[in-house]
Amino acid sequence: MLSQLRATATLLALFTLLLGLAYPLAMTAIAGVAFPDQASGSLVTRGGVAVGSTLIGQSFTGADYLQPRLSAAGDGYDASASSGTNLAPTSARLAERLRTDGRAMKATTGAALLPADAITTSGSGLDPHVSPAFAELQVPRIAQARGLTPQEVRRVISQNTAGRTLGLLGEPRVLVLGVNLGLDALASNSAAN
């Protein structure tokens, strides 16, 4: 009995040292050397200032920006409090919100059918992507707000569109932050000219 207790206590202590400290700290050290950007959150900088992460969605409300999906994380895109709505497919609250948002978006875009991600909330509340169809729906608005041709906007979008990985995995997607950085870069280039 005593030997069992000794084995239990010693093993728990050894495993806590090995798995609870050595393993995560060694992983942190290796990751910091081998993949420093990813290990610290895949941050994007512009003019020396960190403006976001390529992996984490952020809020865009201006007409001149590509707008992301709806978010239930905190007050929207709170990257320290990820969350979905967890509303049921029979939730009256969800139905009401969808009706209102759907009507508004159909009115502003003139589209008869909306893409599946246009007014639904993502799982994480931090979805950094929109579908190519939802991006396309926003092209006229962005072009008008920025005084660009739709083709110019589409070019920026396609530069930030990824297809299925290996032609197989996941779904085609547009990186919202990438598009908006591209749009801003376009604007500052033409201002410089």
Partner 1 sequence: MTVVGWLQILVILAAVVAFAMPLGAFMSKVFRGERNVLTPMLGPVERSFHRLAGIDPGKEQSWLGYTLAMLAFNAAGFLFLYLLLRGQGLLPLNPQGFAGLSPDLAFNTAVSFVTNTNWQAYGGETTMSHLSQMAGLTVQNFLSAATGIALAVALVRAFARSGAQTVGNFFTDVIRATLYVLLPLAVVTGLAQVAMGTPQTLEASATVQTLEGDEQTLALGPVASQIAIKQIGTNGGGFFNVNAAHPYENPSPLSNALTIWQMLVVSVALVFAFGRLIGDKRQAVAILSVMALLLIAGIGVAYWAEAAGTPILASAGLDPAGGNMEGKEVRFGLAASAMFAAVTTGLSDGAVNSMHGSFTPLGGMVPMVLIMLGEILPGGVGAGLYGMLLIAIITVFVAGLMVGRTPEYLGKKIEAKEMKMAILAILILPAAILGFSALSAVLPSALSGLGNAGPHGLSEIYYAYSSATGNNGSAFGGLSANSPWWNTTLGLAMLLGRFAYIVPMMAIAGSLVAKTKLAPSAGTFPTHGPLFAGLLAGIIVILGGLQFFPALALGPIAEQVQMLGGKTF
Q: How many of the other CB atoms lie within 10 Å of CB of 22?
A: 11
Q: Does 24 bind partner 1 (CB under 8 A)?
A: yes
Segment contacting partner 1 by CB under 8 A, of 146-154, 158-166, 185-193: 158-166
**55, 143, 145, 186: residue in contact with partner 1 (rule CB under 8 A):** 55
CB of 146 to partner 1, least distance (A): 14
Read off the amino acid at residue 134: F
By rule CB under 8 A, what string of x and - marks binding of each residue 74-113 to partner 1? ---xxxxxxxxxxxxxxxx-xx--xx-xxx-xx-----xx
**63, 108, 110, 123: residue in contact with partner 1 (rule CB under 8 A):** 123
Environment class of residue 115 by beta-carbon count within 10 Å: exposed (0-12), middle (13-18) or buried (19+)? middle
Nearest to 59 by CA among 188, 187, 180: 180
The CA–CA distances, whole Å, from 54 to 12, 103, 181 equal 39, 31, 11
Q: Does 158 bind partner 1 (CB under 8 A)?
A: no
For the record, the structure tokens of 60 come out as 């865009």
Q: Does 5 bind partner 1 (CB under 8 A)?
A: yes
Q: Does 63 bind partner 1 (CB under 8 A)?
A: no
- Alpha-carbon distance 6 to 9, whole Å? 5
Q: Does 185 bind partner 1 (CB under 8 A)?
A: no
CB of 154 to partner 1, least distance (A): 18
Beta bridge partners of 173: 162
